[in-house]
Structure 1
Amino acid sequence: MVVRSYPFGPVNRLRIDPMYGWLRDNEPLPRVKLPYGDEAFLLVRYDDVRTALGDARFSRAEAVTRDVPRLHPDKVGVLLTDLDPPEHTRLRRLIAKAFTVQRVEQLRARAEQVAASLLDAMVQAGPPVDLTESFAVPLPSLMICELMGVPYEDQDRFRDWVAAFMSVTALTNEERQAKVGRLAAYLGELAAQRRETPADDLLGALVVAQEEQDRLTEDELVQLTLLILAAGYESTASQIVNFTYTLLGHPDQLALLRAQPELMPGAVEELMRWVPLLATADTLPRYALADVELSGGTVPAGDPVLLAKHAANRDPRRYPDPDRLDVTRDAKGHLGFGHGAHHCLGAPLARMDLRVALDALLIRLPALRLAIPGDEIEWKTGMAVRGPVTLPIAW
């Protein structure tokens, strides 16, 4: 069997490498080798990726003891997400009690207020304005602070620490570790405060979350909070920019959303399907615990698989004419938030932030456009997620 070097090539904006489509049709279970670690099978078809996400015969926990396929020489430390049921089920149930759709919906009015305030400042400053710095980053950042219960007077330094955690600023490794250490210590302090004085916020809910007398330890609570930040901050900020850029590049779809704003919830799902957030396949491998038959072939027991969710979301076997953006499409079932036991718990918050952001932009800035030619936009490099570094806009 041919072992292909992976990734296939440099990330090109929001384009999906055509090799994924060729593999879906001609070699649906390719063997790949990343710069470090084990060889792996790359899953590129929708049904195969969905199976690997939801089938207990594929284990995340097994990766802890393996030389996992990876892009960097150092292995990532063991995370609480690297667990299988029932251990993972225990933690997920505890978190789910705190991270509910109802809790997020309570924040919608505040999100709309924050979005309006940010747009007021943008309009007052006048174009051109960088959408990333002026809107896309502060909106989910402030909403994470609201959700978690970070005091207003601490929000600036909190956001600085989170920026270091997400590597969105140029820092040395020592500087990053120092700031992440301060962030972890701060979260521990907030948790201790919630134990003394309960509060109706995410940290307060995590502190009191319990099932059969089983509580989150302080280390678990801090690590889970950091993971929530990673999932709900940088990813959402990047997608606000990516979605805006995509709609500006599809004026027919943008016009349709302006004419029929009630399409926005479905449009966000279609954009989640169509826009590839990750630069590569999901590099959190799953290891087969038994021989598993997939549509593309058999994964032998003991072998890892990597999931190309962005390629799966463009599988014509699941979505007709998949490369066409269609805000009227029923995109339910897309894999943008994962599937199965590890489905993203932050999905309700991300959906709310994205809907509020796009609604506010389209209503307040009816003549929204790029302020520079599209080929002059600088894109992120060497990062896990895609997106413009800055997106200058005018109106």
Structure 2
Amino acid sequence: MADHYEVLGVSREATPDEIKRAYRKLARQLHPDVNPGEDAAEKFKLVTHAYDVLSDPEQRRRYDMGDTGGFGGGGAGFGGFGDIFETFFGGGAGGGGGRSRPRSRAERGQDALVRVDLELGDVVFGVHRELEVDTAVLCATCEGGCCQPGTSPVTCDICHGTGHIQRTVRSLIGNVVTSAPCGTCQGYGTTIPYPCATCQGQGRVRARRTVSVDIPAGVESGLRLQLPGSGEVGPAGGPHGDLYLEITVAPHDVFSRDGDDLLATLDVSMPDAILGTTTRIESLDGPVDLELRPGVQAGDVLTIKGRGITPLRGTQRGDLRVGVHVVTPTKLDGKERALIEEFQRRTKAPAPRLAEFQQGLFAKLRDRFRNG
């Protein structure tokens, strides 16, 4: 095999710049588009291969030590092809000489999604939860190294650690060196002869772990909270993905939510509605006194400030708004009926009459909740 230095016409002490200039000069003379002769094509192939070897510091060192290798071997990449483009079109192919590098075994882990069921009371102030998550965790045996303890990956003897295999193909512009991931090492540049028995060489295992979460106040159904770095660990100990919490808030028997406000309905007897009263009700964060003025009407809304929900972004709590529902008795004994009849005569209440059309009590309450 011809000596690479002689092919390029440089000395063994030539600098990288001198080698590059010599290659450019010969490439201009021998490129098939410029010189179509078969002899020129063969010389162009030798020049390109010589440059591939001598332009790579590691390959040049091995060559100087007597390792001649084979054509395109020892990790030769797109260097010649890149310099052809640089010579004839003023730019490089693939940047940095276009040489492929092996890919890392360590990759980012996948994101995980966990559904969290909350009660409405949890939403008022926020809640702390300990969540059990089935996910991928770092293998405790190999600690992400993928190998059995005491062993390590070895350089692939097919691609010589480059992770890629180079092939020479003929094209309209001559012989072109192409690169594809090495099928033996899958592009990693190394193989694992003794994979970890615990994780089968993955560097991670499936396991259940506990995640401590402080869920803020003001969340609502359908909201997703992101916990960066709390998802699955990546292959070979790669970075963790993210954990997403999808919130579901269960309906409450008494209270409903309207933005940051809480809504409720209060059943009031006719005497209490007429005379007024003070009653104690249970809000989601403790008892609170509620005063009903004399003559309160069905559908009136009573507002208790600051007993609603703390907003997701803010500190000013919403209100608790209570709609009045006056309960009309359906069963009266004789004495009670007589008292009601006497009350009717004394008040001279008007006879029932048509009034403005309404969608019903609940529609009325809803509208007053929203506009009150």
Calculate the TM-score normalised by the size of structure 2: 0.20
Larger radius of gyration: 2
| Higher helix proportion | 1
| Higher strand proportion | 2
Larger RCO (alpha carbons 8 Å, 6+ apart): 1
Calculate the TM-score normalised by the size of structure 1: 0.20
